[in-house]
Chains A and B, each alone.
Chain A
């Protein structure tokens, strides 16, 4: 039982990060039909940026803030320089562009940062907290708390502000959004900026647990993508559930089977979902637009 609980804790912790990455996928997909495979690299920029700024002597909170702002700038540039000029290209071409951008970001990160693994000190110490025979790290609580805060903030933004509604409207019917006067280009830039911020924040809080390196974005992107698919691409709640589910499956797979196959879990899940539930658990909207 204690072991089970332990696996639940670690599964939920990484799952929360996958969920945040999946939310980034969802936001951008909704606003533009683009599946942004550079999404994981925002996580890397958040983590690595904070590590290097902190090493340069900047206080951790400020270092994190600068790294997050940096990731937002990269997100906006990605939209402005790579996605916007290709407006009207096929979804497959746009996906290729984001994959190319992801490779480019990793290349630059190798030069700007380095090729080593790095970590950050845990925000509130390393003393494990005992819960029901298992233990949980204070940093896991940070991850879960920050993820929850971001979910709530995003929900309030989308449901309670006219700008958030404009984003949902753009997702529902781009032509009609333009006809009511929504500047669709700015909405897409907004989606990229917010997704980058969410990814980078996830990167900052998870780095003390998982370490970071210039190329960690690849796995985060694949797992976040799997989570978004499981939830039904385009459905924010589905993204959250999908992320937690993949995190938990991974933890149980590692705990009860073998940690060698941990990363395979996400791929198996993608395949099963594509095979049996092509529209995801939450039956995301169909790809066609009327």
Chain B
């Protein structure tokens, strides 16, 4: 579904992604783990087109998209729930969700109902301004908003950041459910053990380079990963 070849990205003169190669097959959950500042967010931003690629290729369903605008990529089926939630604070929960479907010709009621079913608390708070939601609820809203685009590929940037363990389980449970429903997921997490546990495959990013890749279970068992990311 997604193939990234020799992708580089930079902020000004500082290159933060170096020749990243990465693949996501249809129907997979792929985890991308790495410590602070490794470049995970930059990679997702480049995939969504809100950050230009300095060089390299991004193929989505076989077609190159590295020059495609961000809004066209959403229309093609790539949606992102960004780091730090980034909800539209003053707008209501339901408006946030409806804007998630901005690129769709006919935003169907079914998707909205589906998101509300997945996160019932959003249905309860549909008329409330997004900024008055709790952190966990905002995270659900950010994911729900991305789902409203009916994406083929869902990019999730640290969905468990700052959440209580119970909520982390709920969010990651939702990710597994999405996979069962045929949505392909690229999941960025600092919480490496939780992410790799639900992932089919995983990549480890260090200072902008992919240093390890493999099946989720294998990475979890890898002594280097254990030492560096699982604190074991």
> Which residues of A158-184 are within 8 A (CB) of B?
162, 165-166, 168-169, 172-173, 175-183
Question: Chain A nearest CB: distance from B230 CB in Å?
Answer: 30
Q: Is the beta-carbon distance between A180 and B91 smaller than 8 angstroms? A: no
Q: Which residues of A contact B89 (CB under 8 A)?
A: 172-173
> Which residues of B137-169 are within 8 A (CB) of A?
145-146, 149
Given contacts A162-B102, A181-B102, contact A173 B48 (CB under 8 A): no
**Overall SS of chain A's interface:** helix
| Given A180-B79, A180-B102, A181-B102, 14 more pairs with CB closer than 8 A | A162-B99, A165-B91, A165-B95, A168-B90, A169-B88, A169-B95, A169-B99, A173-B87, A173-B89, A175-B50, A176-B82, A181-B74, A183-B71, A285-B90
Hey, what's the 0/1 contact readout for A174-197 against B, CB within 8 Å counting as 1?
Answer: 011111111100000000000000
Q: Which residue of B lies closest to A172 (CB)?
A: B88
Q: Please report the C-alpha to C-alpha distance between residue A204 and residue B93 in the assembled complex, in whole angstroms.
A: 40
> Which residues of B42-98 are within 8 A (CB) of A?
48, 50, 69-71, 74-75, 79-80, 82, 84, 86-91, 95, 98
Question: Chain B nearest CB: distance from A62 CB in Å?
Answer: 36
Is B100 an interface residue, CB under 8 A from the partner? Answer: yes
Residues of B bordering A, CB below 8 Å: 48, 50, 69-71, 74-75, 79-80, 82, 84, 86-91, 95, 98-100, 102-103, 145-146, 149
Question: Chain A nearest CB: distance from B142 CB in Å?
Answer: 8
Interface residue range, chain A = 10 to 19
Partner of B70, one of A165, A166, A168, A179: A179
Question: Chain B nearest CB: distance from A155 CB in Å?
Answer: 15
Q: Which residues of A contact B50 (CB under 8 A)?
A: 175, 178-179
Can you pick out 14 interface pairs between chain A and chain B where the beta carbons lie within 8 Å of each other?
Answer: A162-B99, A165-B91, A166-B99, A166-B102, A168-B91, A169-B95, A173-B87, A173-B88, A176-B82, A178-B48, A178-B50, A181-B75, A182-B102, A183-B69
Q: Please report the C-alpha to C-alpha distance between residue A234 and residue B192 in the assembled complex, in whole angstroms.
A: 42
Q: Please report the C-alpha to C-alpha distance between residue A162 and residue B94 in the assembled complex, in whole angstroms.
A: 12
Q: Is the beta-carbon distance between B86 and A175 smaller than 8 angstroms? A: yes
Question: Chain A nearest CB: distance from B138 CB in Å?
Answer: 11
Question: Chain B nearest CB: distance from A118 CB in Å?
Answer: 42
Q: Is the beta-carbon distance between A176 and B70 smaller than 8 angstroms? A: no
Q: Is the beta-carbon distance between A179 and B80 smaller than 8 angstroms? A: yes
Question: Chain B nearest CB: distance from A235 CB in Å?
Answer: 11
Q: Is the beta-carbon distance between A175 and B82 smaller than 8 angstroms? A: yes
Q: Which residues of B contact A290 (CB under 8 A)?
A: 84
Q: Please report the C-alpha to C-alpha distance between residue A211 and residue B82 in the assembled complex, in whole angstroms.
A: 52
Partner of B145, one of A166, A178, A180, A182: A180
The 9 A-B residue pairs whose C-beta atoms are closest, nearest first, are: A181-B74, A181-B103, A176-B86, A181-B71, A172-B88, A169-B88, A178-B70, A183-B71, A181-B102
